[in-house]
Structure 1
Amino acid sequence: MFDRLVGFIREQYATKEFIPLHAPVFRGRERELVLDTIDSTFVSSVGAYVDRFERDVAGFTGSPRAVAVMNGTAALHIALVLAGVERGDLVVTQSLTFVATCNAIAYCGAEPLFVDVDRRTLGLSPAALDAWLEEHALVDDAGVCRTRVDHRRIRACLPMHTFGHPADLDALIAVCERWKLVLIEDAAESLGSYYKGRHTGTFGEIGVLSFNGNKIMTTGGGGMVLADEVVGKRAKHLTTTAKIPHPYEFFHDEVGYNYRLPNLNAALGCAQLEQLPAFLASKRALAERYIAFFASTDLQPIVEPEHCRSNYWLNGVICESPAQREALLKATNEAGVMTRPIWALMTRLPLYANALRGPLDNAEWLEARVVNLPSSVTPEPA
């Protein structure tokens, strides 16, 4: 069966060469816009393409404001700062995530609090979150969520839309409202994904996107903070070294961050965004072909949750056992077709091994069985 899978994947990409997991595609005006930026000499964090990229992403997602930064991790860090996360706080998140989610929490001097994921969405489980809080937390007289034992503040909830599949947002919002938690969406992987017709990253107080080289569209490196006008204005200020606008004076009114996206990268992003609808259509068609292929196998494809439209950033399958997972990874990679396991759980990493956690049964089950498959935009017909 693995030989058939390798052959199927090679058919999708029409090559006998090495097939990466997810590679960028440059078919549009990338060269034109980047060269225009070079000719303008405005290649750093000030330039017309930065402003245009922010407007275009805000328009595409439906967010009132979008603020471009140098990468998705910087966007996560700023989102947590904007949410008021401080040293000693706890931030609820999922152990089944990329390490950047937790590193951004650590940048604030806060600590992650891990609860389980939902097998259906791969995202943070509202039921697991509510159950942990019922047993271990309270809302004090000041309306602050705290742990029962040592009264540490639980400030925010940071779910991730894993592989582009939206988490159960309605239920998460309800739990966060009940427990007075700020909801921040790690939508780094879900540009072009929708929950009940609304773009991911626009439900929480703040959302975060990534434009890393392996994402559905790229700026080389880059990220975006999605927020309302008030929070967005503050995000722009903090990420521009907290400098007070002035024709020539340099005055900074608080600790800021040099996180702005360079104009050179924004130009690439503008050209990529022009092609995003075509990228999304290609990836959905590929996902449908994968789903059809796996219908006659014992591997279970990961599909978009009900009432959602996923961007299918990474296609994945759930193996019947850890042994089958290992066999699949070995056979495909030896054949020059890159496949990858899901990330090691954050609770297995030495830096987060002692973090507070609830039961992680679903996360552990998925970690032992999920394999991601090549998911780049497929070649255009000759």
Structure 2
Amino acid sequence: MLDSLVKFVRDQYRTNEFIPLHAPVFGGNEKRYVLETVESTFVSSVGAFVDRFERDMEAYTGSPRAVATVNGTAALHVALMLAGVKPGELVVTQPLTFVATCNAIAYCGAEPIFIDVDKHTLGLSPVALDHWLHMHAYLDNDGVCKLMGGDRVLRACLPMHTFGHPADLNGLVEVCGRWGLALVEDAAESLGSLYKGRHTGTLGCVGTLSFNGNKTITTGGGGMVLTNEALGARAKHITTTAKKPHAYEYVHDEVGYNYRLPNINAALGCAQLEQLDSFIAAKRILAGRYQTFFEGSQFQFVVEPAGCRSNYWLNAVVCEDLVQRDELLAFSNQAGVMTRPIWKLMSHLPTYSSSLKGDLTNALWLEERVVNLPSSVVPELQV
């Protein structure tokens, strides 16, 4: 089976060379737009492509406001600030995620609470969240969610759309609404993914995207905050050093952050965004081929949740156990086909090992079994 898998992957990419997990594809206007920024000399934090990238992303996602940032982690930090997260408060999130999700919580001086995921979405479970809140939290007279046995505030809920597969957003919106939690979506991996027809990152009060070099589209580095007009204006202000508009004076009215996306990166993003639909079409064809390949095997291919359209950012399979997972990882990587295990649970990392957590049965089960497969866009499959 493992020999067949390596051959299958090589047949898709038509190469005997090393096959990475996810590499960018530059087949559009990338060189032309980047050259325009160089010739204009506006390569840094001010330029026409930054504004264009934000407007184009608003049109694509349906978000009222999009604010570009230097990376996805910066976008997450700002999103949590917009949601009102303050030092000493608590933010509910999932343990099965990339570390940036938790690091952004720490940047705010807050702490994570780890709640289990659903196996069918790999994302935060609204059922597990509601159960934990009933057991450990209460609403005070002002409707503020607090931890039992003290006065600590639970301010927000931060799910992540794992590998581009949307979490159960309707369930999370309902639970967060009843418990007074701000819903902030980490949609770093799910650009182009739809939940019941709506773009991920637009169902909470704030959402974030990432354009790292390994994402569906890239700006080299980069991120985006998706939110409403009022919070968007606030995001723009604090990400541009909190500088008040003036022809020549430097007046900063609060602590701000230099989280601006450079124009040269935005130029790359504009060109990539023009090709996003064709990228996703190709990735979905590849995912379909993987699904067919694994039918009847010992491996379970991870498919999009019902009612959703996933971008299939990273294809994944669930192995029978840890032994089979390690055999797959060792064999494929030695054969020059890059695979990798899912992240170690955040609750296992030294930095977050003492954080509050619920029953993490599903997350622990998945941690021992999930493997990502090569998922780069195959140019021949673009439509």
Partners in 1 of 2:296 and 2:286 — Cα distance?
Answer: 17
Letter matched to residue 282 of structure 1:
A
Paired with 2:182 and 2:31, the residues of 1 have a C-alpha distance of 41
* Distance of 1:306 and 1:247 partners within structure 2: 52
Structure 1 position 370 matched with structure 2 position 351: no
Residue aligned with 1:28, SS: coil
Task: Name the aligned partner's letter for residue 379 of structure 1.
Answer: P
Give 1:218's aligned residue: 218
Q: Do the aligned residues in 1 keep the contact of 2:282 with 2:381 (CA within 8 Å)?
A: no
Whole-angstrom CA distance in 2 between matches of 1:199 and 1:2: 36
**SS of equivalent to 2:350:** coil
Code of the aligned partner of 2:338:
M
Distance 1:306 1:117 in 2: 16
**Aligned-partner SS, 2:219:** coil
1:342, distance to aligned residue in structure 2 (A): 0.1
Identity of aligned residues (%): 69
1:326-337 aligned within 5 A: 326-337=326-337
Equivalences for residues 114-133 of structure 1 within 5 A: 114-133=114-133
Q: Which structure 2 segments of 5+ residues have no match?
A: none
Query: Residue by residue, what CA displacement relative to the aligned partner does 1:198-224 show, whole Å, maximum 9, x if unpaired?
Result: 100000000000000000000000000
Alignment of 1:9-158 (within 5 A): 9-158=9-158
Alpha-carbon separation, structure 2, partners of 1:162 and 1:296: 25
Q: Which residue of 2 aligns with 1:247?
A: 247
Q: Does 1:324 align with 2:302?
A: no
Deviation per residue, 1:258-307 (Å, 9 max, x gap): 00100000000000001001100000000000000000311000000000
How much does 1:81 deviate?
0.7
Paired residues, number: 382
Distance 1:253 1:263 in 2: 25
Note if 1:161 corresponds to 2:166. Answer: no
Structure 1, unmatched stretches of 5+, are none
2:102 and 2:380 mapped to 1: Cα distance? 38
| Amino acid aligned to 2:10 | R
Write the distance in 2 (CA, Å) between the matches of 1:325 and 1:26.
33
CA–CA separation in structure 1 for the residues paired with 2:240 and 2:197? 33
Give 1:143 deviation, angstroms.
1.1
2:272 maps to what in 1?
A: 272
Deviation of 1:136 after TM superposition, in Å, equals 0.3
- Aligned letter for 1:362? N
Identify if the C-alpha distance between structure 1 residues 371 and 20 changes in structure 2 by more than 3 Å, giving closer, same or farther. Answer: same
Q: Partners in 2 of 1:67 and 1:46 — Cα distance?
A: 13
Aligned equivalents of 1:305, 1:267: Cα separation in 2:
33
8 A Cα contact 2:160 2:187, kept in partner: yes
Give the structure 2 partner of residue 308 of structure 1. Answer: 308
**Equivalent position of 1:358 in the other structure:** 358
1:168-188 residue CA offsets vs partner (Å, 9 max, x unmatched): 000100000000000000000
SS in 2 for 1:380: helix
> Secondary structure in 1 aligned to 2:316?
strand
Q: 1:134 to 1:381 in 2, by over 3 A?
A: closer
Deviation, 1:381, is 6.9
Find the aligned partners of 2:16 and 2:277 in 1 and give their Cα distance. 28
Q: Distance in 2 between matches of 1:46 and 1:381?
A: 36
1:174-323 equivalence runs, <5 A: 174-323=174-323
Letter in 2 for 1:255: V
Indicate if the aligned counterparts of 2:285 and 2:381 stay in contact, CA closer than 8 A: no
Q: Which amino acid aligns with 1:197?
A: G
The letter for the 2-side match of 1:297 is S
In structure 2, C-alpha distance between the alignment counterparts of 1:87 and 1:202, rounded to whole Å:
26
CA deviations on 1:216-257 (whole Å, 9 max, x unpaired) are 000000000000101101000010011110111111111110
Amino acid at match of 2:244: I
Tell me the distance in 1 between the aligned counterparts of 2:277 and 2:34. Answer: 21
Distance in 2 between residues matched to 1:150 and 1:6, nearest whole Å: 54
Instruction: After the TM superposition, list the runs of 4 or more consecutive aligned residues in structure 1 that deviate by more than 4 angstroms.
Output: none
